[in-house]
Structure formats: C-alpha cells, structure tokens
C-alpha cells in the first residue's frame, strides 16, 4: 500500500539526505551553521599557528618601538607613594621587580618577574654617562651578593655620572639619587629595554 501519492517517497528520501548532512556522527546531530562557524574557527587557528608571526605580534612590536623613556617614567611616577609589598605587582603594593614589570607592562612591554632575570634582558649599558631615562638600573640586595634590586632611571647627570631613579623600596615607591652612599656602594649595572631610547640618542647626536 502506498501512502500520500507517488511523490511522497522521493520527498522523504531528500529530507533524510539533508538531515544526514548536518549529523557529525551517529550520536550527535547539530544545525549546519554552528558547525561551519566552528570549522572556520579551527582552520583559522591552525593557519595562524603555522605563520612565523601574526598580525597581533606585528602591532605589539610597533607599539613597543613607539615607547620611549619619558613614557616609561611618566607611568612610573603615577605610583609614587604606593606601599612596598613583597612578591606583589599591583597598585595595592609592589616589590622592586614587581614595580618595574608593572610599569613596563603598562607600556606593552613584558619584563621577566625577578630583578635577576630582568638583568639578563635588553642591552647592557656599561657606562653611567650613557644612561637615559627609562633604563633599568640594578643594585645588590641587602645581603650584598648579586643583583637583588632594580629601579627605573628618571634623570641623568652625565657630568658626574650620577642619576636619579624611581623604585619600590621599603618606604614604598619613591625617587632616590645614585649619589647616596647606600646606592652608590651597591650599584651593579644597567640595561636598556626599549629601542625608543636608542632612537632618541641618535637624534640628539645629529642635532
């Protein structure tokens, strides 16, 4: 016995085929549009993973190149008076490397977390007379063995090879002078993280 006329079986067969297209296995059957969106997202992710760099990386690098020492110092000075808190890198409290990493991060630059590891980043500045605002300066810790403290240069006096720097010390975030006996005796070295400082120096030399 045939129900619904001669065209009914054909229509039923066509409907079943269309339904089968949307089934991803024998247990799950999902609408076609969400499946295509997921498929497109997966393909996009895989493609980006095989590229040598992404558009986002390029934008981040451009932003990093646009940053100069003045921008770093301007950010750092906003947190004068924030209390010292060991192991912290937030506006509720900073330790020395937590402060420097926080300030640089605000300018789209990632620093490693400890002062010792930050001392391995960027370019080594051998002479104090070559220091520029925004550079990182390093000191031994209270025990006097190896790098244990870090700050950010805010002002430089090439004539007497001294500088002022903002840092998170026991009294909280503030500015000190390298000529102070405590810091003069503990100075270890400096690193330049931002390429913008190199550009500024070249521009000054050509003026």
Whether the predicted model's global pTM rises above the 0.95 cut: no
Which of 167, 186, 191, 192 does the annotation list as catalytic? 167
Distance of alpha carbon 8 from alpha carbon 115, whole angstroms:
78
Q: Which residue in the list 109, 133, 149, 153 is annotated as catalytic?
A: 149
Is residue 87 flagged as an active site residue? no
| 99 noted as active-site residue | no
Domains of the chain and CATH, by start: 57-206 (3.90.1720.10)
Q: How far apart are CA 43 and CA 139, in angstroms?
A: 49
pLDDT band at 16 (very low <50, low <70, confident <90, very high): very low
State the DSSP H helix or E strand holding residue 11, giving kind and residue range, or none if neither. Answer: helix 8-21
What distance in Å separates the CA atoms of residue 105 and residue 69, rounded to the nearest whole number?
14
Query: Residue 181 and residue 158: Cα distance in Å, rounded?
Result: 18
Reported as a single tens digit per residue, the pLDDT across 132-191 is 999 999 999 987 789 999 999 999 998 899 999 999 999 999 999 999 999 999 999 999
Does residue 202 carry a catalytic annotation?
no
């Amino acid at each position: 016995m045939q129900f619904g006329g001669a065209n009914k079986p054909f229509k039923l067969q066509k409907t079943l085929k269309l339904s089968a297209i949307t089934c991803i296995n024998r247990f799950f059957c999902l609408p076609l549009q969400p499946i295509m969106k997921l498929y497109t997202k997966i393909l996009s992710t895989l493609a980006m993973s095989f590229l040598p760099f992404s558009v986002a990386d390029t934008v981040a690098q451009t932003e990093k190149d646009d940053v100069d020492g003045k921008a770093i110092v301007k950010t750092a000075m906003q947190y004068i008076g924030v209390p010292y808190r060991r192991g912290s890198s937030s506006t509720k409290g900073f330790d020395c490397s937590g402060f420097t990493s926080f300030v640089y991060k605000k300018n789209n630059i990632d620093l490693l977390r400890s002062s010792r590891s930050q001392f391995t980043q960027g370019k080594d500045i051998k002479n104090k007379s070559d220091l520029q605002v925004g550079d990182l300066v390093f000191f031994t810790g209270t025990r006097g063995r190896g790098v244990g403290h870090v700050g950010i240069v805010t002002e430089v006096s090439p004539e007497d090879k001294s500088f002022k720097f903002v840092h998170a010390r026991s009294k909280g975030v503030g500015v000190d002078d390298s000529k102070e006996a405590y810091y003069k005796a503990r100075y270890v070295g400096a690193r330049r993280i931002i390429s913008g400082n190199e550009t500024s120096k070249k521009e000054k030399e050509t003026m």
